[in-house]
Amino acid sequence: MTKILLFSLIFAAQLAAQPAFRDLFNGRDLTGWVNVNTDPDTWSVRDGKIICKGLPIGVMRSEQQYENFILHVEWMHLEPGGNSGIFIWSDANPNPKNRLPNGVEVQMLELDWVKLNTREGRDPPPIAYVHGELFGVGGVKTVPDNPRGTRSKSIENRCLPRGEWNTYTVVAVDGVVKLAVNGKFVNGISQSTQKKGYICLESEGAEIHFRNIKIMELPPGVTTQEQSAPLLP
């Protein structure tokens, strides 16, 4: 074997070993996703998009679990005040009462949510609530970078309203999550008590579209069984 061929093979192997994005949604069907507790027609695919009609409340999960990764997802609400989100490091085992699983939630709310959910005689919720809040749910604990109680709020409002696409970049490594909204990092949490699990898309009462869902898996860390969601069949 010549030196040139040997170096070429080594270089090719090194490239193949580098982390790279791969599709979590193929743009044609829901291969790679499992409907957990919603209706058969809650999730559908049209024109390269996942269409979630929003009812009933529940989730669809990834087939496999993920630990350390970078997630790219684009989403668009269609209704004023629409509610949805993504759960990462989730057990994908919904609580019967609220029909949602545990994990770290990455919030996706339409901008009018604040206006439509202000109770009479009370101050409106902070606008940052809709711009990618991060928080542990279902018993998962986190430490917020920008506290709003136990939740972490974005430090800059970057989400676009219904009918326009938003891009989230979620960097999740060893219990730390950093969120970029439309090209800028604006939020984060750390010390998540669960740091390996499923990725879930949420149906929560309003139509929402998803597209270009990609993941780059990163090297694993030191994660104990207690810090990992149980594997599902």
| pLDDT score of 4 more than 70 | no
pTM of the model: 0.91
- Give Cα 58 to chain centroid, integer Å: 14
Closest CA to 133 of 116, 115, 117, 149: 149
The residue-averaged pLDDT of 123-149 equals 89
pLDDT of amino acid 131: 84
pLDDT of amino acid 122: 85
Closest CA to 188 of 179, 200, 197: 179
Q: Could you tell me the residue ranges of all domains in the chain?
A: 20-221
| pLDDT score of 1 more than 70 | no
| pLDDT score of 9 more than 90 | no
User: What's the alpha-carbon Rg for the chain, to the nearest Å?
Assistant: 19
| pLDDT score of 12 more than 70 | no
The residue-averaged pLDDT of 12-25 equals 77
- Mean pLDDT of the chain, nearest integer: 93
**Residues across the chain:** 233
The residue-averaged pLDDT of 133-141 equals 97
pLDDT of amino acid 118: 86
- Give Cα 50 to chain centroid, integer Å: 14
The residue-averaged pLDDT of 151-167 equals 95
What's the pLDDT tens digit per position in 58-67? 999 999 999 9
* Topology adopted by domain 20-221: Jelly Rolls (2.60.120)
The residue-averaged pLDDT of 170-189 equals 98
76 CB-side CA count, 13 A:
11
